Amino acid sequence: MRAILNSLVLLGCIVAGAAIAVLGGCNYANTGSPGNTPNIPQQSSYRVVGDVGTPFRATVSDSRSSWQVFGTIPTSIAIVNDSPPDRILVTKTSNDARLLSLQVIQGFTVGTLASTVSNFGTAVGSIGGTLPALAPPASPDVRFFVKTPLVGVFNALIEDQTNSYALESRIAAVILFDSPNGGKSGRVNGIFTQVSFTGVFDVDLVINGQLVETATGGTTVTVHAG
Amino acid sequence: MGVKYLSGRWLWPALLCSVLIVLWKPVAGRAFATGIVELAFTGSGLAAGDGQPVLTEYQRVLLNVLSVRLTPSTDLSLSDSDPSWVEIPAPAAIGSSNPTQFITTSLNFGGFFGATGTLLTAATSILQLDLMPLQNLPFFFNAASVPAESYGQIELVLDSTVPGNIVPLCPHSLLAGEGCVSYKATFASQAGLRALFTSAFAVPTGSVQPLVANIAVSVGPPPAADPDTATIFISPVISSPGNQSPALGAVTGVVTNFNLNNTTVTAEYAGTNQIVAVTHLMSDGTFSLSLPALAAPSSTLYDIYVSGNGAYVVRSRVAVSQGTTTPLGTLAVPSSTVGSISGTIADGCAGTAVEGATLQLLVPDTTVPGGATTCDLTGAPPVIPSNCVVVATAATDDQGRYPLSGTPLTNVPVTPPPGVSHYDLKIGAPGYNTTVPQVAAGLLSCPTSRFANSCSFSLEHGYLTGETQLSTPDGSGKPLDAMVMAEDSGTDKIEDFTLSTIPGGATSGIFTMAVPDAAPSSDAIPVENFDVFASVQDLFQGLPQKTSGHLIGTAASVRAPAADCSTITIPTLSPMDCAGLGSVYGNVENANPSTTSVRLSKDGVQIMATEPNSILPSGDNYNFCAPSDNYVLTHYESGIAKSSVGINLAKPVLVSAPCAGICQDGNPAGTCLLCQPTVAPTLP
């Protein structure tokens, strides 16, 4: 039975891949040379985990921009169009003994782990070298909030007018888009797809603190601005 | 989460494959009858390699745990790839508050994805296990469904790249690495990662089996060089008695008027919303919760509540000790339909959304003799009655809205328990006065809400502004970022924090933060005075560190803003010059892990406290890492000061290059500060 299932899954992947290739796929960027897009260096992301529901405030900085992120455990934070080195400082905002654990991830590997159980305890991490001081606040400050379903995994394409970035994460997640369109005005969008439908999708796009678009839907939702 | 730059053409086949793999995996795993293993760790046997008490040489010892594996085989040389291994992975910590497993712990709500997960690209889940408090209080790791059979051995799987992280105290010799900074651990021996159960560990079909695994670790010697070249050796040894779990305490009872699918029993640490475990009921309505607890005569206090079908049933401050069973008797659930509590939380001054505010629904335990029958604030200063239990929690989203779908406030009984007229909702966020409005029975709306038929509130606060300073500009010429914290005066209860940046070449930086004010409305808690302190975020060899080498800036007993939205300017904090690191260790007499703490203060401002349950009853040791300076150490019992002693953390010594310094970026003088240990007198 297991061997048959294995074969079906493999066959499905091959057929689907072939079909999409024949149809030309969905090109959001690099249309002149599809299939030959070079990979950029491994990007950075963070997971704040531990006791579910513990509130925290994170200060995240790369060499160009910094952000304050509020949330509760568990939350994933990713910077797209990252400009390393990065530094992150996560502080519990509760006076209790709950565990907050910070995982700094480069590519798909946990690079740094730090934890705290203290009142307003802090966990710190860095990646990609030394960032001597925190960068100025991001401008524009473009964030995607993926809020529900709380038991879920999604894939996303985050795009500006020249580049697209693919990522996969658990929900809840905050995606920080550093300097889209070179820091100038222009279109940004995000296409979010649940890996397996587990509930209603709820995604916000917030720019400079203002809610620009909210999307609620089933398997796939899109938010955009500009 | 992984991020990769791709063209769209390659993404969609990958997405489709991931969906198929996710759909396929559960099907493949349905072949076995199963039971549930509820795994907890204990940590007796943590020792320094040189025989010294571990707390005299190390501040923190953390293991990076990937999973625990079980196999029926008793062959300790069994291949890692043998198919008989079953795995209890580190929890993925995904965010549902609705238990989907029979047993749910605070770390695994909603389940787990497995050690490698169903994700195509996400990093493996790792749990960082703090071995200091683990010596006193067991820690729930995860619960998992496994094939129902008898198991012969257990294996601890640690991260192969970095199996642990260790912070040593300041070194006793000069040929050593810097202390009070984080080092990576490496295995001195992996021979102890597998062990036979002392008696077989049986998991009958459909049962829930608590399993306690003890981790003993030999640590050291202390590093002979800095973290870029040195690591600290560890030799972890796992052991487990199998089905006997004397390290846990049990709470039992029987629930009447239940729904087998929905009714759950939740245990959380008393007076908090820190859920430790949730369980469904057996078919006859009985339940048994195995909980981490201190050894008798000490005990750990839990709040217990029944929810999911009908009104809440709560029991507050239930004492649980290791190896004992605490019966709760019959818990009769009154009938009730359910509704939702919803609204928005806004800043009372700016009108903007408050993101990440926490809301806790409170119900009093009316079985406590003389206990309150509501959770309205009482007394002066106002507090929440001690017999109140948090039965549901929510947090606001990026727009200040709550609740998210599927969270507990969407499923609240409209009828409070008998004898309780209304619920109360505790609403808090850093920088705001905590407010506790009433929630009416029936409609589940708040009479004092900003908007009708909801529980929407504007949180009150004032502002606190001031300056951080250096005596002379920092030698590096680069900006310094200092974290400024405001806490209730004379306590370690922190209200808010912010960052203050001292520009390169300058001697001062400014800061402003929201703080609770002294005269909020009647259902909010005022704060009269604050203690304020600031700690520079230092790097060591380019990596950020928790402990600063700069002096901690302080300002004690500053007045709170007099009214909502008003601002108070406080005196400039004391200078935060570079002093280097220091450490102190000592003993406290007759320590009880559940009630004893030691706090380090400077100029009357409490800076740091020992971690909960981290003081060992055998040896009574504690320690701190802090900038080299003068402090006061105070012994607290249940939050009440018992004795104090002044202490001067030894000045660091100068060592020659090549070297690295905590606050001497670039090593301008050609020498570095190497921190030195200090021994404190015994605290009575």
Q: What is the CATH number of domain A138-226?
A: 2.60.40.1800
By C-alpha distance, the chain A residue nearest B540 is A130
Would you state the pLDDT for residue B669?
A: 63
Least confident of B92-106, B314-328, B434-448: B92-106
More confident residue, A31 or B304: B304
Q: Please judge whether A171 and B95 are an interchain contact, meaning their C-beta atoms are less than 8 angstroms apart.
A: yes
Calpha distance B306→B331 (Å, rounded): 8
Report the 10 Å Cβ neighbour count for A102.
25
Would you state the pLDDT for residue B493?
A: 95
Average pLDDT, chain B: 87
Span B277-302, pLDDT tens digits: 888 899 999 999 988 888 888 888 99
Residue type, B133: P
Domains of chain B: residue spans and CATH: 32-239 (no CATH), 248-328 (2.60.40.1120), 336-459 (2.60.40.1120), 462-569 (2.60.40), 581-679 (2.60.40.1120)
Q: Is residue A63 over pLDDT 60?
A: yes
Going by pLDDT thresholds of 50, 70 and 90, the confidence category of residue A35 is low
Q: Best of A151, A175, A192, A198 to disrupt the B interface by mutation (most B CBs within 10 Å)?
A: A151
B354-360: average pLDDT: 95
* Contact of B476 with B537, CB cutoff 8 Å: no
Going by pLDDT thresholds of 50, 70 and 90, the confidence category of residue B4 is very low
Would you state the pLDDT for residue B161?
A: 87
Q: Please judge whether B5 and A96 are an interchain contact, meaning their C-beta atoms are less than 8 angstroms apart.
A: no
Most confident of B41-50, B242-251, B359-368: B359-368
Would you state the pLDDT for residue B6?
A: 42
Q: Please judge whether B3 and A50 are an interchain contact, meaning their C-beta atoms are less than 8 angstroms apart.
A: no
Q: Is residue B37 over pLDDT 70?
A: yes
Least confident of B111-125, B325-339, B381-395, B473-487: B111-125
Q: Specify the length of chain A in residues.
A: 226
Closest CA to B389 of B309, B332, B305: B305
More confident residue, B485 or B102: B485
B6-21: average pLDDT: 44
By C-alpha distance, the chain B residue nearest A22 is B9
Q: How far does chain B reach from its first CA to its final CA, in angstroms?
A: 49
Q: Best of A150, A204, A213 to disrupt the B interface by mutation (most B CBs within 10 Å)?
A: A150
Calpha distance A55→B395 (Å, rounded): 8
Q: Is residue B149 over pLDDT 80?
A: yes
Q: Please judge whether A89 and B493 are an interchain contact, meaning their C-beta atoms are less than 8 angstroms apart.
A: no
Q: Is residue B532 over pLDDT 90?
A: yes
Q: Please judge whether A168 and B1 are an interchain contact, meaning their C-beta atoms are less than 8 angstroms apart.
A: yes
pTM of structure: 0.87
Calpha distance A140→B489 (Å, rounded): 39
Calpha distance B375→B419 (Å, rounded): 12
Closest Cβ–Cβ partner in A132, A196, A200 for B405 = A200
Chain B residues with CB-CB distance to A74 below 8 A = 92-95
Going by pLDDT thresholds of 50, 70 and 90, the confidence category of residue A30 is very low
Report the 10 Å Cβ neighbour count for B78.
17
- Say whether residue B6 is in contact with chain A using an 8 A CB cutoff: yes
Residue B670 structure tokens: 């050609």
Calpha distance B60→B44 (Å, rounded): 15
Q: Is residue A119 over pLDDT 50?
A: yes
Would you state the pLDDT for residue A32?
A: 44
Closest Cβ–Cβ partner in B9, B93, B665 for A132 = B665
Q: Best of B4, B5, B608 to disrupt the A interface by mutation (most A CBs within 10 Å)?
A: B5
Which residues 37-76 on chain B approach chain A with CB closer than 8 angstroms? 62, 64
**B404: closest CA of chain A, how far (Å):** 7
Would you state the pLDDT for residue B617?
A: 65
By C-alpha distance, the chain A residue nearest B167 is A114
* Contact of B538 with B495, CB cutoff 8 Å: no
Span A66-87, pLDDT tens digits: 999 999 988 999 999 989 899 9
Q: Please judge whether B3 and A153 are an interchain contact, meaning their C-beta atoms are less than 8 angstroms apart.
A: no
Going by pLDDT thresholds of 50, 70 and 90, the confidence category of residue A13 is very low
Would you state the pLDDT for residue B191?
A: 87
More confident residue, B276 or B533: B533
Average pLDDT, chain A: 80
Calpha distance B480→B538 (Å, rounded): 8
Closest Cβ–Cβ partner in A43, A145, A202 for B4 = A43
Going by pLDDT thresholds of 50, 70 and 90, the confidence category of residue B334 is very high
- Say whether residue B13 is in contact with chain A using an 8 A CB cutoff: yes
* Contact of B250 with B275, CB cutoff 8 Å: no
Going by pLDDT thresholds of 50, 70 and 90, the confidence category of residue A193 is very high
Which CATH fold would you assign to the domain A41-132?
A: Immunoglobulin-like (2.60.40)
Q: Please judge whether B545 and A124 are an interchain contact, meaning their C-beta atoms are less than 8 angstroms apart.
A: yes
- Say whether residue B406 is in contact with chain A using an 8 A CB cutoff: yes
B508-535: average pLDDT: 96
Going by pLDDT thresholds of 50, 70 and 90, the confidence category of residue B238 is very high
Q: Please judge whether A172 and B95 are an interchain contact, meaning their C-beta atoms are less than 8 angstroms apart.
A: yes
* Contact of B628 with B650, CB cutoff 8 Å: yes
Would you state the pLDDT for residue B13?
A: 47
Domain limits of chain A?
A: 41-132, 138-226
B523-545: average pLDDT: 94
B87-111: average pLDDT: 53
Q: Which position has the token pair 């795995």?
A: B87
Q: How far is CA A18 from CA A167, A222, B447, in A?
A: 22, 26, 61
Q: Please judge whether A204 and B269 are an interchain contact, meaning their C-beta atoms are less than 8 angstroms apart.
A: no
DSSP string covering B383-405, please? B--TTEEEEEEEE--TTSEEPPT
Residue B88 structure tokens: 């209890």
Would you state the pLDDT for residue B328?
A: 97
Residue A43 structure tokens: 């990007």
Span B198-237, pLDDT tens digits: 888 999 998 888 899 999 999 989 999 999 999 999 999 9
Span B600-631, pLDDT tens digits: 999 999 999 998 778 876 667 899 999 999 99
Calpha distance B120→B117 (Å, rounded): 8
Which residues 625-664 on chain B approach chain A with CB closer than 8 angstroms? none
Would you state the pLDDT for residue B296?
A: 84
